Structure 1
Amino acid sequence: MAIATVNPTTGLTEQEFEAHTADEVEHRIGEADAAHAALRATDYPERADWMRAAAELIEGDLDELATLLTVEMGKPIAQSRAEVLKCAKNMRFYADHASDFLADEQLADPAAVNASSAWTRYDPLGVVLAVMPWNYPLWQVIRFAAPALMAGNTGLLKHASNVPQTAIYLDTLFERGGFPTGSFRTLLIGAREVAAVIQDPRVKAVTLTGSEPAGRSVAAVAGEQVKKAVLELGGSDPFIVMPSADLDAASSTAVKARVSNNGQSCIAGKRFIVHTDVYDEFARLFGEKMAALTVGDPMDEATDVGPLATETGRDEIAELVADAVAKGAEVVTGGRAPDRAGWFYEPTVLAGLTSDMRLVMEEAFGPVATLYRVADRDEAVAIANQTTFGLSSSVWTSDATEESFFVRAVDAGAVFINGMTVSYPELPFGGIKDSGYGRELAAAGIQEFCNLKTVWKA
């Protein structure tokens, strides 16, 4: 795949970039390795000052960055601005809390281990490679980079090939904030070159956010090298609605969950599992609200849904819908690619799903929702858990017993009750099953790429 900005609103190539040569990659890995020696010698207050300065830089570049995100991957401009500001919040969060999250922990009773004292400490691992996707071009990188650098690690970024300008901006961001030269470096390389970077002895760990096949490939190489890996892969999150739910709020949130980021979010509700007692009303509200959305130019403030980021992505979502319709699915609303330039697809709701339809098990990475009618909570959980994914979930109920049941029974990295899944710096984020392993954000996110070292003293 060419390293290029191809505007998904027009389908036109705006700028192309040459891939880094083997010598350039070697130099950049060397820079990150040298920077680690300098960075780990600094203290948390110094790193925090640099991280806050970098946060101020991206806030100062808000309009420029938001426009860049929209041009490169097509999200509505208001959502692009929100992404930039969320990144700054995350950077300040780790600047404020890294020292607490990584503080030494004394054993309360050292005599139990025949010591005068014993404790644990966190040490950085070194250079960490991040393989990142295009759907949140800034946020996905910052949610890794902020905790990694605050812990004393340095970072290498292999970004998606269709967001190169965002990747280049990130190449110097932390250095501009004050971090040692080389603390974070972008590698303009293709997917085939990733394995060699993981295999480099100076690279100590890898994190990937992306597709399940990409995750399996990266994990296999990391495993061969006995290197730590954190994977955040696909998701087909259930959105369960029970009779006691506020249907107006649930249906409105369902729309936002399904079409945010033009439907291209791993943690978005995708499968809407509704109790039969309220199914008809929810389906009516959901379908009407999806149909009322404005599809158009993502630079227009009035636009709700812009184009999909790539032509391939648009074609794949169209194929999933066509497969379901050919096998008898009901189109509640949408179901077409508009006849216009760019890679648009209508907000779509399908009902009457059967097990032979690809949409039942595969992730719909676009503004397409599936509706399921269920008789009770047990059937709801059975459908929720039937896919190989387990990223997040949303449950709508005002019944405390049901709430407890779903929290225990749903196989996912998170359960959000009466709200849509959102990532917060304060909460651990990640999945189970084919959605990956490891956690980002909160204390868990900064501890992932550290050596938890035990110290025993006679």
Structure 2
Amino acid sequence: MRIEKNFINNEFVGSSQNSLIEVYDPATEALIAQVPAASAEEATYAIDCATQAQKAWRKLTSIERGVHLQNLADALIEHKHEIGAALAEESGKSLEDATNETVYASEITRYHAEWARRIEGEIIPSDTPNENLLLQREPIGVVVALVPFNFPVYTLLRKLAPALITGNTMVIRPSNNTPCSAFAIAKAIKAAGIPKGVVNVVAMTHPTAELICTHPKVGMITLTGSVGAGRKVLEYSQVNIAKSSLELGGKTPAIVEPDADLEKAAEEIIGSKTSNCGQLCTAVERVYVHEDVYDRFVELLSKNMKNKPYGNRTQNPDFMGPLVNENARLNIHQMVERAMDDGAILEQGGFIPEEKGFFYPATLLTNCRQDMEIVQEEIFGPVLPVLKYKEIDEALALANDHQFGLASVIYTENYRTAMKVANEMEAGEVYINRTPSDPYQGYHAGWKRSGLGGDDGKHGMLEYTQTRLVVLKY
């Protein structure tokens, strides 16, 4: 069992209190680590260190900050096996997937480093003679990042890299389910020579997280998490009018037209639904299939689900791994049972396995209705409800009749249909003839209850800035 320490001001430090966060391997249910829950004083010290460090960090040229990020990207590659091993053990991912997540995190770090010469302001014409208006982009200050459990390595760097390149410093609270990979990343941060206090990684309880989110020295809170967590952050941000960037729930609809490549669509949809055991905010969560191909497509979905067994991915990386914990599994199973009570037909899965580990089989439900909970609420697990439609306008109306608007999918070979959906879908992302993957040069932002602000690309980087207008009279 590993014993972790918090990372504050470039030092790994123990806690003055005896409160420990226990970390379990979700594939075996074994206790694998103990992490000190920071005290209020320790968390406040991390904020103070970040505040002090930001004064010097913001004064570096952006190209100097970019060099630091390039060094961090190199260090992540050098530490990828350690980070990957920690992530695999605490998340149930295969070692290959966990290591690849670290590589992908290094790539987004390098991507944002390359923005060093592109953080642009504007020169605006003035109404007054002999005067220029200069709109500058400036850092916000100290950013608190609340990182989720499902892709904790990638999401941490997805937030850290744009925050640092724009001149901010950061206090990171990793998920209590997957904190060990964050501390492995902290070793890479130290090895890369990032100055003291610029990045702090601190495990904590919810009350302590509230304390740092409402601290007057914090200028921004960035969260990837549930709608409930997003509401909490909005409450916290009101205290000091801190900026919030929230990537929240999703309920990705996939529309399958009769002219689609059905075998390709079925394979990719099941791949999306079972990747990381469905614990992905952009995973396909509901499928609308044209009535002309409905029966055939259900057969293909069922066939692909049968070919996706679950199990410990250290034994077979092709297995679908576990859910994060027992509560998640129980909540998902209860949703399936309620759907069946409401008339859904169980085609595959739908049971709690007897073996150790928080596994749940890939589950397919047909005869679903739009008003069912299983269609309206985010499942965040390997359960797929399927619905039938007659015309594309009906499918669009059903897809848009929802509280979420993060990602969406359409399978069709008709470009008119594709463009109609692209123009009328109420979601931040539309994927045509493929499932979501969040390209980091794009902009990952949700509509409706799926969030505020966004991540990735130029616009994700600019989330970490504020503007200053300089009125220059000459």
Corresponding residue number in structure 2 for 1:353: 368
Choose the corresponding residue for 1:419, options 402, 423, 434. 434
State the distance in 1 between where 2:145 and 2:230 align: 12
Q: How does 1:37-436 map to 2 (within 5 A)?
A: 37-100=55-118, 102-107=119-124, 110=125, 112=127, 114-355=129-370, 357-436=372-451
Match in the other structure for 1:18:
36
1:32 to 22, 31, 50: 50
Could you tell me whether the CA contact under 8 Å between 1:69 and 1:166 is conserved in 2?
yes
Structure 1 contact 258–368 (Cα < 8 Å) conserved: yes
Change (3 A) 1:343 1:117: same
Which of 224-233 and 353-362 deviates more?
353-362
Change (3 A) 1:6 1:302: closer
The number of aligned residues is 455
What's the offset of the Cα at 1:162? 1.3
SS of 1:415 mapped into structure 2 = strand
Q: Output the amino acid matched with 2:180.
A: Q
In 1: Cα distance, 2:35 partner to 2:190 partner: 22
Contact 1:79–1:261 (CA<8 Å) still a contact in 2?
no
Contact 1:334 1:348 in 2 (8 A): yes
Q: CA–CA distance in 1 between the matches of 2:370 and 2:399?
A: 14
- One-letter identity of the residue aligned with 1:97: W
How far apart in 1 are the matches of 2:175 and 2:53?
Answer: 24
Corresponding position: 1:7 with 2:25: yes
Contact kept, 8 Å, 2:370 with 2:398, in 1: the verdict is no
Does the aligned pair in 1 maintain the 2:73–2:106 contact within 8 Å?
yes
1:7-26 deviation line (CA, Å, top 9, x unaligned): 00111211222211122112
* Local SS of the residue matching 2:455: coil
- Quote the offset at 1:331 in angstroms: 1.3
Structure 1 residues 356 and 427: CA distance shift in structure 2, 3 A: closer
Verify the 8 A CA contact 1:329 1:351 in the aligned structure 2: yes
Cα deviation digits, residues 158-192 of structure 1 (max 9, x gap):
11111121232234533431221011111221112
Report the aligned-residue RMSD.
1.6
- CA deviation map 1:141-165 (0-9, x unaligned): 1100001001110011111111121
Q: Which letter maps to 2:236?
A: V
| CA–CA separation in structure 1 for the residues paired with 2:410 and 2:33 | 43
The answer as to whether partners of 1:321 and 1:359 remain within 8 angstroms in 2 is yes
Contact 1:204 / 1:227 at 8 angstroms: preserved in 2? yes
Separation in 1, partners of 2:239, 2:53: 26
User: Normalised by the size of structure 1, how large is the TM-score?
Assistant: 0.96
How many Å apart are 1:99 and its aligned residue?
A: 2.4
> Secondary structure at 1:70's aligned position in 2?
helix
After superposing on structure 2, the runs of 4+ consecutive aligned residues of structure 1 that deviate more than 4 Å are none
For 1:15 and 1:428, the matched residues in 2 are separated by 35
Letter in 2 for 1:267: T
Partner of 1:393, secondary structure, is strand
CA deviation after TM superposition for structure 1 residue 360, in Å: 1.8
What is the CA-CA distance between 1:64 and the residue it aligns to? 2.1
CA contact (8 A) 2:40 2:211 kept: no
User: Helix, strand or coil for the counterpart of 2:246?
Assistant: strand
Corresponding letter in the other structure for 2:123: Q
1:280 & 1:395 partners in 2: Cα distance?
18
Give the Cα–Cα distance (whole angstroms) in 2 for the partners of residues 29 and 119 of structure 1. 32
How many Å separate the matches in 2 of 1:367 and 1:113? 62
Deviation, structure 1 residue 52:
1.3
Q: Relative to structure 2, which stretch is displaced further, 161-170 or 308-317? A: 161-170
Give the distance between the partners of 2:467 and 2:404, measured in 1 at CA.
30
Q: Cα distance, 1:416 vs. partner?
A: 0.7
SS in 2 for 1:267: coil
Q: Is the 8 A contact 1:50 1:174 kept in 2?
A: no
User: 1:429·1:439 contact (CA, 8 Å) conserved in 2?
Assistant: yes
> Quick check: which one's strand share is greater?
2
The gaps in structure 1 that reach 5 residues or longer are: none
- Deviation per residue, 1:276-311 (Å, 9 max, x gap): 111111111111011111311122344230111111
- Match for 2:291: what amino acid? T
- The alignment's TM-score, normalised by the length of structure 2, stands at 0.92
Deviations 1:20-69 (A, max 9, x none): 11221121111111110110011122111111111111111222222211
> Does the Cα contact within 8 Å between 1:78 and 1:301 map onto a contact in 2?
no
**Alpha-carbon contact 2:52-2:197 (below 8 Å) kept:** yes
Change over 3 Å in CA distance of 1:302–1:161 after alignment to 2: closer
Measure how far apart 1:112 and its partner are.
Answer: 4.7
Cα drift, residue 386 of structure 1: 2.1
The CA deviation string for residues 254-296 of structure 1, in whole angstroms up to 9 with x for no partner, is: 0111111111000111101111111111111111011111311
Once residues 359 and 213 of structure 1 are traced to their aligned partners in structure 2, the CA distance between those partners, rounded to angstroms, is: 18
1:356 and 1:418 mapped to 2: Cα distance? Answer: 27
Q: Does the 8 A contact of 2:83 with 2:185 survive in 1?
A: no
For the 8 Å contact 1:98–1:147, the answer to whether it is kept is no
Give the direction of change, closer, same or farther, for the CA distance of 1:65–1:170 in structure 2 (3 Å limit).
Answer: closer
